[in-house]
Amino acid sequence: MMLVLMAARKTRHEPYSPEVVELLAARFRTLGEPIRIQLLQALQDGERNVTDLVTAVGSTQSNVSRHLRNLQDAGMVARRQEGNSVYYSVADPAVFDLCDAVCNSVGARLLQQASLASELRRRARK
């Protein structure tokens, strides 16, 4: 398994232009707030109104609205108003692929660290 992970890391990509680098950095900055990831997870199964999202993430209405606005500006969520209610949905499902890729990378690193820690414990017992 580790060989597969190491091989995947050796893939080279063409350098990104400065404009593309800024766009990528902006995307990661948007996802850099835990509540935004929680909001995306809460929207994963479909459209929800702000009140539902406040309950789902355990925050205040003003805080949730602020983060939803940021996600909307980044093109990750869509907003729809119906009367006095505002509904949000995931506009870019690829964001979950990005989160999965990061989770897989973090998981692989933790497995590697656990393996090294286990080896160190075995050596310390000798």
Q: What pLDDT score was predicted for residue 2? A: 42
- At 9 the pLDDT is 56
Contacts of 98 (CB under 8 A, 6+ apart): 27, 31
* 68/35 Cα distance (integer angstroms): 10
Mean of pLDDT over the chain: 89
DSSP 3-51: HHHHHHHT---PPPPHHHHHHHHHHHHHTTSHHHHHHHHHHTTS-EEHH
At 34-82, the pLDDT tens digits run 999 999 999 999 999 999 999 999 999 999 999 999 999 999 999 999 9
- H or E element that contains 102: helix 94-125
**CB distance 78 to 91 below 8 Å:** yes
Cβ 31 vs Cβ 92: under 8 Å: no
Predicted pLDDT at 3: 40
Q: For the residues 17-33, what does the mean pLDDT come to?
A: 94
- The CATH code for residues 21-92 is 1.10.10.10
pLDDT in tens, 75-87: 999 999 999 999 9
